[in-house]
Amino acid sequence: MTKRGKFQYFRLLPFALLLVFFCATSAFGGPPFLTDDPEPVELGHHEFYIFSTLDRAKGNTQVQAPAFEYNYGILPQTQFHVVFPFNAVTTTDGPAAYGPGDTEFGVKYRFVEEQNDVPQVGIFPMLEVSTGDADRGLGNGKTWAKFPVWAQKSWGPWTTYGGGGYAINQQPGQRDYLFAGWLLQRDIDEHLTLGGEIFAQDKTADTGQATTFANFGGFYNFTKNFSFLFSVGHSIAGESHLISYLGLYWTW
């Protein structure tokens, strides 16, 4: 594939982001969206999620259920992060499989705090440790990494955040790739927040394509420390994907 063809789907990203930004985002970032934010958990505070995800493409379905995420404010401006999923995989050319997936570790560090005219900015490098059985389709088969930079700005009930980065995956058949996303969301009231994002990534495998997603969702706060998270989306360019996220969130 030529360089021009390789990045043809990324052409949609700037225009889609401008459309979302100027048409109509709380400090709650990351789940249930693909785009993340730079805001770490406060020092000494905890976050815990129980969630499930769906990704259906080309007759193949990948589900994480249940999956667990834990975040802790380990240092000032610094968050420790871990995700451990159980994966279910069904394919058109092989047996279904279920079992532990790969484990994600990360550290989020905010190096610019938000001010009146300045967005907050942070990095969130993550290591995807190969703990799933790759022979059964439950893992990558080799540890790989992602290196994103995220920025965020809020105005009253509106918040916008996004950025992008680079993934390094040396497993045979997989590829290093660029990714980028931007999200806009609004607090509807003290309980409900809704938002939408555009997220794009280059081809992640030798047989794949660059893909752009439109994803919509939000969260409902039952209490200050307990929320329900949800999103559903579909690809708008590249490979055909249906994606979704459902989760419960606690903080203390």
pLDDT (tens, 9 = 90+) of the chain, 252 residues, equals: 444 444 443 444 443 333 333 333 333 458 999 999 999 999 999 999 999 999 999 889 999 999 999 999 999 999 999 999 999 999 887 789 999 999 999 999 999 999 999 999 999 999 999 999 999 999 999 999 999 999 999 999 999 999 999 999 999 999 999 999 999 999 999 999 999 999 999 999 999 899 999 999 999 999 999 999 999 999 999 999 999 999 999 999
User: For residue 59, what pLDDT is reported?
Assistant: 80
Strand duo 242-251 + 126-129: pairing: unpaired
Listed by start position, the domains of the chain span 3-251
| Domain range 3-251, CATH architecture | Beta Barrel (2.40)
Distance, C-alpha 100 to centroid of its chain: 20
- CA 44 to CA 247: how far, in whole Å? 23
Dist. CA 53–CA 69, nearest whole Å: 13
b/e map 28-67, b = 16+ CB within 10 Å? bbbbbbbbbbbbbbeeeeebebebbbbebeeeebbbbeeb
| Residue where the block lists tokens 């730079």 | 38
pTM of the full structure: 0.86
Residues 6+ apart with CB under 8 A from 161: 25, 29, 35, 36, 37, 38, 150, 151, 152, 153, 182, 183
